Chains A and B, each alone.
Chain A
Amino acid sequence: MLFNSFIFIFGFLPVVYVVFWCLPSAKPRYVWLAVSGYVFYGYWDARFCLLMAFSTLVSYCAGLAFLKYQDPRARRWALVVPVCVDLCLLGFFKYAGFALSSGQWLANQLGISVHLPVFDIILPVGISFYTFHTISYIVDSYRRVIRPTRNLFEFSAYVSLFSQLVAGPIVRFRQIETDLENLGGAQRRRWLVPGLMFFVIGLVEKVLVADTLSTFVDPAFKDVASLSTASAWLVMLAYSFQLYFDFCGYSDMAVGLGYLFGLRIPRNFNSPYKAHDPSDFWRRWHISLSTCMRDYLYIPLGGSRHGEVATVRNLMVTMLIGGLWHGANWTFVVWGAYHGALLVLYRLAPKLWDALPRRGAQILMFLLALLGWVFFRSPSFAVAGEVLHAMFTATAGALPPNVGVLACMLLVAGYWAMVGRNTFEFNDGASATPMRQALLAAAFGACLAVMAGGRDTPFIYFQF
């Protein structure tokens, strides 16, 4: 079920919302949120509900173990076993096929005669996200940053919360536990208008901006051989904004949906194309992932505490794994390595970068991010190579069809992403004035009109 679908907006959401606020206290609300999360998730493929339930149960039991055992050795077992179980599930469903095909390729290159099996495994949607939720819960419980909950439904509601279940943001239990605790006393009226505002603005980002841009990007990537230099740049510009508005739109909708149920879900984007350097970019792009990577990988590896060489190594390892997290493909690994290299370069020569004028640094960072998206979008190195070749060698050819519309969309999207206010700034403490409400209604109408035209596309981050 997509947030930008009629079944969600006019079927699932109203039912879940009305029943939720009719329930008198926190406990039945946990149950209801957990059940609705499974219904939402099962809409894709009910079989994978079992997988999520298993992962939830393992992590819940780990939490109980942390409550019961204070002995460091026992606690370490309670950490290692469930984390390994979660990682094995993720590894099997997401990376087994990739590992085997890579192994087969390597064996062929080395002339070793071996026939590895070919797995055709369906990737359960959102597995990367809820695995991160459960692992962060286990690790935080182990570190005593949080006290694990004894209420299975509270924990289930956290893991299967439909607003952030399949494409994030990656919400850590500690970020939401206060609101979960107070769920029985949440005030519906107070959360309603901001929730709707976030949801509708997210819908605008997704339906009106990202999906419109995708009508230019997708056909171009099906036929990269015919890309001219100008069209390659236009297409990559379009993809840069499509990706941002697609994922940011989803995250904003998730925040809005959280508000509708009295839960404050943290922001995931802070105008990343306003970033002035690679480090700034990662403070603004997919914030929930980058903080998780920092807290559960970079810092445990040693962070920046053991000298320059170790810091560089830790940065590269973190970004490589971050790249691989996005998808089981070597193009994502290269994308991660590319951003790792940018971070390392910035760390080694920050003054050179900071000497650039602010606007120049912003544009440079945007262009560097855009180059990275070539690997992110391309299904193979061959495609990425063709796109880069078209971008950097003078190649004649036609411009994309409807280039006037594309130019208008790029101007609007570029202004919004690089100069304008993001959703959090737009909603910053302001109440819903009549003008805002009318704008909101108009924006919702525009989104519905486009959705009814049958151009609904899934969110890009669903595949991760």
Chain B
Amino acid sequence: MTTDGSRSPGRAGKPGVAAAGAEPPPAESPRFCGPRRATLWALAILAFLLTAEATARLDDAVFQGVPFLANPRYEDLFIRDALGRRGRPNAQFGKWTLNSFGFRGPEITPVPRPGCLRVALMGASETFGYDESPGHEFPALLRKKLAGRGCVEVVNVAVVGMSTGTMVDYWNNWVSRFRPDVVVVYSSPLFYLASRESPDARRAAGAVSAPPPAPAPPAASLDNPFESRFVKRMRGVGHAAVPAWAWMAWNKHRLEHQLRGVPADARIHAPPAAGLAAYEHDLVRLIGTVRSQARVVLLTHAQRADLPVPTRVLPDLWEERNWVPQADLPVFVEFDRAANTVTRQVAARENLQLIDAAQLLNGCWDCFGDLNHFVDKGSERMSDLLARELPLRKSE
């Protein structure tokens, strides 16, 4: 117990504990003026900036293993080489860590361990993991949930920006080598929204050919080591601080300006049939390619929005419209629904198991960070669904 016995007169002249714990008023600080003042300010700003930059780099080095002088970028997580676009082996950026085969998650053996079932999850950023906290992307959660149900290896082979069509080459050139027993496909249909080619035209254009090989950049780019990481962090804070309605207004203004010269017939007011046909074509082709080696399970695509489109998803739709400016806002949702119908029909026709993620998650506001990407709650539900529905046997 303390023995604070100091007392001072209170308002009524009564004894009381000394005001403010007997802390004296602070001393007046010296005042500087003219050039001295300017020099002091300059020194203080310099000290501020240098320390901030050094701390940001040290923090990255300690907690993310990023070299002090490197200039890492999100794009460093991926390479494009003779095998096509895929994850860079052992890459790391922010919360994303890839294993020695360029897959997000723990190390795996080149082929499944004897007696083990290997489940590969193919998809784009929704599957790779974007808005979730580290280790909460749905493939990682599924891995944990299946841990007690025999030897099951869950491998997240998703690559950001991968359409269903490019998955064919990715499977042929890379993923098939790891001999998964089950392949779960979570396609992103919106890649096909702007497609104006018919499947025949795509075939004629040789859409099945592999992309040209490109030299791989170094693992952690050292090309511009003096790009400020403090400024980059602060930019992120600034971006997060701007309210959704302000971003929406900005996007709206920018995109409407951009669309001024676009002819009316180039605008998309309804889900384009060509896009849906292209999606179906690529999906069927992917299934045909994969099913010779593994069992295929299809997932419908889930979105934050529901139909009719609620007002509160408008900021997400405007953000999404950056990808296809000529499409009207509701089309982003309507196309997704139409593509899901295609997915269901293909699954029925090809006699494949379908897991209806859209039915479970569409319209769940706090399951998504934007229109398409899960946050922890969404990935938790998704992994629950998969853990419940996924067949855990070697062959049908």
Is A453 touching B59 in the complex (CB atoms < 8 A)? yes
Q: Which of these binds chain B: A20-28, A239-247, A367-375, A436-444?
A: A436-444
- Give every chain B residue within 8 A of A193 (Cβ-Cβ): 26, 29
Q: B33 an interface residue at 8 Å Cβ cutoff?
A: no
- Give every chain A residue within 8 A of B12 (Cβ-Cβ): 144, 146-147
Is A215 touching B10 in the complex (CB atoms < 8 A)? no
Is B62 touching A174 in the complex (CB atoms < 8 A)? no
Q: B56 an interface residue at 8 Å Cβ cutoff?
A: yes
- Give every chain A residue within 8 A of B16 (Cβ-Cβ): 140, 145-146, 174-175, 177
Q: B43 an interface residue at 8 Å Cβ cutoff?
A: yes
A147 and B47 in contact (CB under 8 A), knowing A177-B19, A452-B237, A453-B233?
no
Is A449 touching B59 in the complex (CB atoms < 8 A)? yes
Contact of B29 among A290, A431, A451 (CB under 8 A): A431
Is A174 touching B10 in the complex (CB atoms < 8 A)? yes
- Give every chain B residue within 8 A of A7 (Cβ-Cβ): 241
A441 and B45 in contact (CB under 8 A), knowing A283-B3, A453-B59?
yes
Q: A416 an interface residue at 8 Å Cβ cutoff?
A: no
Query: A10: nearest residue on chain B (CB-CB)?
Result: B241
Main DSSP-derived SS at the A contact region: helix
Q: B11 an interface residue at 8 Å Cβ cutoff?
A: yes
Which residues of chain A from 182 to 198 have a CB within 8 Å of any chain B CB? 189-194
Report the separation of the CA atoms of residues A102 and B10 in the bound assembly, to the nearest whole angstrom.
44
Interface centre among B3, B30, B40, B55 (most CB of A within 10 A): B55
A429 and B43 in contact (CB under 8 A), knowing A145-B16, A179-B19, A282-B2?
no
Main DSSP-derived SS at the B contact region: helix
Is B237 touching A266 in the complex (CB atoms < 8 A)? no
- Give every chain B residue within 8 A of A427 (Cβ-Cβ): 26
Is B14 touching A438 in the complex (CB atoms < 8 A)? no
Contact of B21 among A259, A266, A439 (CB under 8 A): A266
A441 and B53 in contact (CB under 8 A), knowing A265-B20, A429-B27?
no
A146 and B241 in contact (CB under 8 A), knowing A437-B40, A449-B53, A452-B234?
no
Is A190 touching B28 in the complex (CB atoms < 8 A)? yes
- Classify chain B's interface size: 35 or more
Contact of A438 among B4, B11, B19, B43 (CB under 8 A): B43
A267 and B10 in contact (CB under 8 A), knowing A438-B44, A448-B234?
no
Identify 9 new A-B residue pairs, CB closer than 8 A, beyond the known A190-B28, A434-B32, A442-B51: A146-B11, A174-B10, A177-B19, A287-B4, A298-B1, A402-B63, A405-B62, A431-B30, A450-B56
A146 and B14 in contact (CB under 8 A), knowing A264-B20, A266-B21?
yes
Is A446 touching B52 in the complex (CB atoms < 8 A)? yes
Contact of A145 among B15, B19, B30, B54 (CB under 8 A): B15
Q: A294 an interface residue at 8 Å Cβ cutoff?
A: yes
Is A444 touching B48 in the complex (CB atoms < 8 A)? yes
Q: B49 an interface residue at 8 Å Cβ cutoff?
A: yes
Q: A178 an interface residue at 8 Å Cβ cutoff?
A: yes
**Chain B nearest Cβ from A418, distance in angstroms:** 20
Which residues of chain A from 262 to 316 have a CB within 8 Å of any chain B CB? 263-267, 279, 282-283, 287, 290-291, 293-294, 298, 315
Is B21 touching A191 in the complex (CB atoms < 8 A)? no
Is B14 touching A443 in the complex (CB atoms < 8 A)? no
Which residues of chain B from 22 to 77 have a CB within 8 Å of any chain A CB? 23-30, 32, 40, 43-45, 47-56, 59-60, 62-63
Q: B147 an interface residue at 8 Å Cβ cutoff?
A: no
**Chain B nearest Cβ from A149, distance in angstroms:** 8
Nearest first, the 8 closest Cβ-Cβ pairs linking A and B are: A264-B20, A266-B21, A445-B52, A452-B233, A147-B12, A174-B16, A194-B26, A442-B51
Is B19 touching A450 in the complex (CB atoms < 8 A)? no
A431 and B28 in contact (CB under 8 A), knowing A264-B23, A266-B21, A452-B233?
yes
Report the separation of the CA atoms of residues A175 and B396 in the bound assembly, to the nearest whole angstrom.
78
Which residues of chain B from 238 to 264 have a CB within 8 Å of any chain A CB? 241
Contact of B11 among A177, A179, A294, A431 (CB under 8 A): A177
Q: A75 an interface residue at 8 Å Cβ cutoff?
A: no
Q: B17 an interface residue at 8 Å Cβ cutoff?
A: yes
Q: Mark B191-235, 1 if CB is under 8 A from A, else 0.
A: 000000000000000000000000000000000000000100110
Is A434 touching B21 in the complex (CB atoms < 8 A)? no
Q: B236 an interface residue at 8 Å Cβ cutoff?
A: yes
Is B49 touching A282 in the complex (CB atoms < 8 A)? no
